[in-house]
Structure 1
Amino acid sequence: MVAVFNKELLSWYLITLKLRETVEAAASGSPKPNRDQASARSIEWTDQKQPSDSLKIVIKEDGKDNGVKVEEEAIPQESEWVISIKEKLEQARQDDLASSWTKLCIYRIPHSLRDQGDEKAFVPQMVSLGPYHHGKRRLRPMDRHKWRCLQRILKRTNQDINLYLDSIKEFEEKARECYEGPISLGSNEFVEMMVLDGCFILELFQGAAGGFKQLGYSRNDPVFAMRGSMHSIQRDMIMLENQIPLFILDELLGLQLGNPDQKGLVSKLTIRFFDPLMPTDEPLRKTDMNKLESSLGHGNIFDPLSDQSELHCLDVFRRSLLRSGPKPVPRIWFRKSSHSNRVADKRRQQLIHCVSELREAGIKFKKRKTDRFWDIKFKNGVLSIPRLLIHDGTKSLFLNLIAFEQCHLDCGNDITSYVIFTDNLINSSEDVGYLHYCGIIEHWLGSDDEVADLFNRLCQEVVFDINDSYLSQLSEEINHYYDHKWNTWKASLRHNYFSNPWAIISLVAGVVLLLLTFAQTFYGVYAYYRPSS
């Protein structure tokens, strides 16, 4: 038996074998071998190479007619499809072992949110920070100013670039774990990007706090001056996909100042830099600012996250918006556990009725004087809402804050709750107009319709649990007041008969006329039955 895996070698082997047998038979004149002799001369031969197909060729010599019989026996072997699946599973196992989800805090915007919102709200238009948008052609012009910024820092501090590169090199692995998915940049390129982008951010922070002139920049500098482009840069820097880990900024600032213990200082600079993006025009009192800055990094109540060193500027700005005392405990409206079914369900996102319907139920609206735009109160039929300023950067700010709350597991949903509550209030331009009349909403957009459309689109595909909202108890109180018919009747009476002085005069005149008619009827009937003597 001869086992052969190469068909060409098999052909040459058979030809050689037959020629040798013919020559030997002619030389010796011996008779042809019988079947037993031919079987005894069976030879098994195996090629040393890996077989190219899954068949084993068996050659047998037949002594009867000197023919050759070829038999094919199938070798059990896995198909290419199964092999490819196993390779993918092995790659998934390696990815799972290499990934550290506990450090992840800078996410890519989910497609469900990106499709519903404006692309410009998530994608930077002037400057790229971090790896997600690094190297894009339309953002490259700002790179020249980044290098100019880095050169000025090294000149001002009289330091060598190797100091920054070597220091950030030690944090490379930790920084990579903050981003979602594998980063295709090499080690040197990644460290260079962290140093360049981080120094650019810190230079903007320090210039906005103390003045760019003190840092050595000209008053007509195209970037490092408080001009119109600064607002666009601020919008890009607050985007979720455009973040640098905060510990990188802390390390770079410590190198610049010659003091490595600078944790908390970057957070203070962040709050001051992004203050123009605040969705309120109520000024922050100096005492509140001092309390806010002193509370950063010390685990105060307003900080919903325990480990600040793994986060970024967007998270710092979010926590500055949510500075507060203890919030109301959410009340469970449904018996099912709030974390057992986290799906987007618009039926469970309806916290309250719109402004027009609440007004019909007798609920009044009043502006609340506070810079905490989310701090809404309800008492004795009066809904007190802080002033909300809507400008061209509000949509991008809210969308990125909502995206961060949707992606980060250890983050609350306070901003999402507020936006959905406002979305419930606003169904039409008439609702926006009345809130503007009450001083609750001030906007710089083209019309009230644009404001209504803005809020109606913000949370279309947002995962939201009504039981996990700080406004759930307040919403229940409002709905309880709304469901009382007596309140609706009183509101209808005020609306129809006490809405203006002429309506009041008409009502009084009608009541007097009714009383006089009743008196006349009474005395007429009384005189009929009890005539005077």
Structure 2
Amino acid sequence: MVAVFNKELLSWYLITLKLRETVESGIPRTSTGTNKSLDLTEDQSDHQLHKQQHVPSDSLQVITINEDDENPEKAAVPQESEWIISIKEKLDQARQDDAAGSWARLSIYRVPHYLREGDIKAYVPQIVSLGPYHHGKRRLRQMDPHKWRSLHRVLKRTNQEIQLYLDSMKELEEKTRACYEGTITLSSNEFVEMLVLDGCFILELFQGAAVGFERLGYSRNDPVFAMRGSMHAIHRDMIMLENQIPLFVLDKLLGIQLGEPDHKGKVARLAIRFFDPLMPTDEPLSKSDMNRLGSSLGHTNTFDPFSDLGGLHCLDVFRRSLLRSGPKPIPRVWLKKRSNAIRVADKRRQQLIHCVSELREAGIKFKKRKTDRFWDIKFKDGILRIPRLLIHDGTKSLFLNLISFEQCHIDCSNDITSYVIFMDNLINSHEDVAYLHYFGIIEHWLGSDAEVADLFNRLCQEVVFDINNSYLSHLSEDVNRYYNNRWNTWRAALKHRYFNNPWAIISLFAAFILLLLTFAQTFYGIYGYYRPPS
């Protein structure tokens, strides 16, 4: 009996050693078909051993879990699963976006970073925020009380309830959100409140500029709703690409105010009147146009030349008004098409034309063209006729936002970009600006001609532009052909050297007469030598 007892004690001791080696090594044991009986025996023995030591039966299980956590291979399993799940969620979101086509209605964009690097103040509002992109920023909150004043004035003047405006904007919320790029973090109530508040504020400015703010009930010394110095800064903020409200929202709000829910086009006409001071020409709207725009607030059937403009938002409306009246030349393809595939714009080919100084050397003349369409440039018989362009402190921001819109919106032409790049090619130095200013083509309110040259040279630094898609490509090709003609260059050099002033002309004429007299004297001298008088 003693021997048997010692044999059992020896087996318990060997099993305990085996378990200790397994735990210390940290290597999990596998249960195969050949080791099932051994594993079962070890588990039973381990249970009995812990029971003898007054340890809970699940203590071995706890130790095993802790050891597994220290194993890097097993610890990485749940982390890898979460990673894969997150990737699948992103792919699922991409599939939903692709299926929904959420960018089909996209029209109000965030300015790309490669364009912002030039001058960020030209794209970011400084006084008033409109829309969700800059909503709630601390430095722009000072205009919020004036927005609420405008909304109160609208409700008081129309004798309507705020719920009517909130409900109408609630119906347009989904459609409006689709107009903005990226995710809008505002809640549904915040977004609807912003549309009503900002939309009514815009409409009060538009109507006040058309019929007078005093007729709308504002005081003549109102800090905002009066034609004061701050109005110029408000103009500039409201024309920025990131600071827009969709036009159909404004149409809806104005229709509620006027009792014409289905009326469209009136906001576009009011916007043209409001943004007229930003026009890059010194030709304001005529009195007849002013009267037509002003009468559009009433219920008249007066013919309106701007009634068919349409537009996506105020910036688009303003751009359409700049490019109104008449067709433009069809672009000419400079490069031979190897296929009918859509080409990618080549940054190496953005030079449309030579600068003013070089064109003058080829005999090309510059004259001012009398028209309010600043983009309508003509070239004929060596004369480049360019309409007058007025440059002020808001011109830079205006052109930059127009160019950004043309760069971002796929259904938008590049007419403004073509014009700016054309002028950038013409102007390389302050001498070029001075020459164009002398002929009345450029009028500016900046400090010097050098600032104007720097303005144009910086406007399109990062812009991707296809010269084959420019309405000025045909004209530029004609100018370059004239420039490359050597006879024109020689004739221009002769005129520049000998016919640039009256004294040079007199000197040349005297030299020519002297040359003729010398030739005649030589001829008669030789003639008298060979044929002396009889």
- TM above 0.5, yes or no, is yes
Letter in 2 for 1:509: A
CA deviations on 1:334-378 (whole Å, 9 max, x unpaired) are 124697443451x31100000011111011101000000000000
Give 1:261 deviation, angstroms.
Answer: 1.6
Could you tell me which residue of structure 2 aligns to residue 105 of structure 1? Answer: 107
Partner SS for 1:475: helix
Rate the CA distance shift 1:503–1:446 in 2: closer, same or farther, 3 A.
same
Indicate if the aligned counterparts of 1:344 and 1:462 stay in contact, CA closer than 8 A: no
Give 2:8's match in structure 1, choosing from 32, 38, 43: 32
Indicate if the aligned counterparts of 1:129 and 1:197 stay in contact, CA closer than 8 A: yes
Rate the CA distance shift 1:485–1:499 in 2: closer, same or farther, 3 A.
same
Could you tell me which residue of structure 2 aligns to residue 497 of structure 1? Answer: 498
Aligned pairs, number: 479
CA deviations on 1:472-531 (whole Å, 9 max, x unpaired) are 000000001111111111111111111111011011011111111111111111112222
Could you tell me which residue of structure 1 aligns to residue 79 of structure 2? Answer: 80
Could you tell me which residue of structure 1 aligns to residue 93 of structure 2? Answer: 94
Unaligned runs of 5+ in 2: 16-25, 32-38, 50-59, 293-302
Give 1:293's match in structure 2, choosing from 284, 288, 306: 306
Rate the CA distance shift 1:56–1:349 in 2: closer, same or farther, 3 A.
same
Provide the rounded CA distance (Å) in 1 between the counterparts of 2:235 and 2:91.
38
Could you tell me which residue of structure 2 aligns to residue 148 of structure 1? Answer: 149
Indicate if the aligned counterparts of 1:212 and 1:225 stay in contact, CA closer than 8 A: yes
**2:326 equivalent to 1:325:** yes
Could you tell me which residue of structure 2 aligns to residue 482 of structure 1? Answer: 483
CA deviations on 1:100-125 (whole Å, 9 max, x unpaired) are 11011000011111002x22111101
Provide the rounded CA distance (Å) in 2 between the counterparts of 1:81 and 1:342.
40
With 74-83 and 243-252 compared, the bigger mean Cα shift is at 74-83
Could you tell me which residue of structure 1 aligns to residue 277 of structure 2? Answer: 276
Partner SS for 2:513: helix
Indicate if the aligned counterparts of 1:292 and 1:320 stay in contact, CA closer than 8 A: no
Give 1:158 deviation, angstroms.
Answer: 0.8
Could you tell me which residue of structure 2 aligns to residue 519 of structure 1? Answer: 520
**2:206 equivalent to 1:230:** no
Give 1:33 deviation, angstroms.
Answer: 9.3
Indicate if the aligned counterparts of 2:220 and 2:226 stay in contact, CA closer than 8 A: yes
Letter in 1 for 2:515: L
Provide the rounded CA distance (Å) in 2 between the counterparts of 1:292 and 1:82.
64
Could you tell me which residue of structure 2 aligns to residue 42 of structure 1? Answer: none
Give 1:287 deviation, angstroms.
Answer: 6.5
Rate the CA distance shift 1:274–1:343 in 2: closer, same or farther, 3 A.
same
With 77-86 and 397-406 compared, the bigger mean Cα shift is at 77-86
Give 1:283 deviation, angstroms.
Answer: 3.7
Indicate if the aligned counterparts of 1:338 and 1:468 stay in contact, CA closer than 8 A: no
Letter in 2 for 1:84: W
Partner SS for 2:367: strand
Provide the rounded CA distance (Å) in 1 between the counterparts of 2:124 and 2:442.
27
Give 1:294 deviation, angstroms.
Answer: 2.6
Indicate if the aligned counterparts of 2:165 and 2:196 stay in contact, CA closer than 8 A: yes
Q: TM-score, normalised by structure 2?
A: 0.84
Rate the CA distance shift 1:96–1:192 in 2: closer, same or farther, 3 A.
farther
Could you tell me which residue of structure 2 aligns to residue 304 of structure 1? Answer: none
CA deviations on 1:413-437 (whole Å, 9 max, x unpaired) are 0000000000000000000000000
Q: Give the 5 Å matches for 1:320-469.
A: 320-336=321-337, 340-343=342-345, 345=347, 347-469=348-470
Could you tell me which residue of structure 1 aligns to residue 36 of structure 2? Answer: none
Letter in 1 for 2:243: N
Provide the rounded CA distance (Å) in 2 between the counterparts of 1:278 and 1:158.
36
CA deviations on 1:164-194 (whole Å, 9 max, x unpaired) are 1111001111111111100111110111001
Indicate if the aligned counterparts of 2:277 and 2:284 stay in contact, CA closer than 8 A: no
Provide the rounded CA distance (Å) in 1 between the counterparts of 2:160 and 2:307.
31
Rate the CA distance shift 1:256–1:96 in 2: closer, same or farther, 3 A.
farther
Rate the CA distance shift 1:381–1:218 in 2: closer, same or farther, 3 A.
same
Letter in 2 for 1:182: T
CA deviations on 1:194-234 (whole Å, 9 max, x unpaired) are 10000000000000000000000000000000011101000
Give 1:81 deviation, angstroms.
Answer: 5.0
Q: Give the 5 Å matches for 1:235-246.
A: 235-246=236-247
Q: TM-score, normalised by structure 1?
A: 0.84
Partner SS for 1:135: coil
Q: Give the 5 Å matches for 1:197-236.
A: 197-236=198-237
Letter in 2 for 1:32: E
Letter in 2 for 1:494: K
Rate the CA distance shift 1:56–1:470 in 2: closer, same or farther, 3 A.
farther
Provide the rounded CA distance (Å) in 1 between the counterparts of 2:349 and 2:323.
24
Rate the CA distance shift 1:322–1:258 in 2: closer, same or farther, 3 A.
same
Indicate if the aligned counterparts of 1:338 and 1:467 stay in contact, CA closer than 8 A: no
Partner SS for 1:420: helix
Partner SS for 1:101: coil
Provide the rounded CA distance (Å) in 2 between the counterparts of 1:224 and 1:161.
21
Indicate if the aligned counterparts of 1:122 and 1:400 stay in contact, CA closer than 8 A: yes
Unaligned runs of 5+ in 1: 1-24, 40-53, 298-307
CA deviations on 1:409-467 (whole Å, 9 max, x unpaired) are 01000000000000000000000000000110000000000000000000000010000
Rate the CA distance shift 1:76–1:136 in 2: closer, same or farther, 3 A.
closer
Partner SS for 1:223: coil
Provide the rounded CA distance (Å) in 2 between the counterparts of 1:78 and 1:466.
55
**2:121 equivalent to 1:120:** yes
Provide the rounded CA distance (Å) in 2 between the counterparts of 1:332 and 1:450.
34
Provide the rounded CA distance (Å) in 2 between the counterparts of 1:215 and 1:124.
26
Rate the CA distance shift 1:512–1:237 in 2: closer, same or farther, 3 A.
same
Rate the CA distance shift 1:334–1:496 in 2: closer, same or farther, 3 A.
same
Provide the rounded CA distance (Å) in 2 between the counterparts of 1:497 and 1:86.
82
Give 1:97 deviation, angstroms.
Answer: 1.5
Partner SS for 2:307: helix
Give 1:76 deviation, angstroms.
Answer: 12
Provide the rounded CA distance (Å) in 1 between the counterparts of 2:421 and 2:341.
19
Provide the rounded CA distance (Å) in 2 between the counterparts of 1:81 and 1:58.
24
Indicate if the aligned counterparts of 1:250 and 1:262 stay in contact, CA closer than 8 A: yes
Indicate if the aligned counterparts of 1:342 and 1:463 stay in contact, CA closer than 8 A: no
Give 1:80 deviation, angstroms.
Answer: 3.1
Provide the rounded CA distance (Å) in 2 between the counterparts of 1:194 and 1:423.
39
Give 1:295 deviation, angstroms.
Answer: 2.4
Indicate if the aligned counterparts of 1:497 and 1:503 stay in contact, CA closer than 8 A: yes
Provide the rounded CA distance (Å) in 2 between the counterparts of 1:85 and 1:105.
35
CA deviations on 1:236-286 (whole Å, 9 max, x unpaired) are 000000000111101111111111022100000010000000000124446
Provide the rounded CA distance (Å) in 2 between the counterparts of 1:453 and 1:179.
33
Partner SS for 2:164: helix
Rate the CA distance shift 1:153–1:495 in 2: closer, same or farther, 3 A.
same
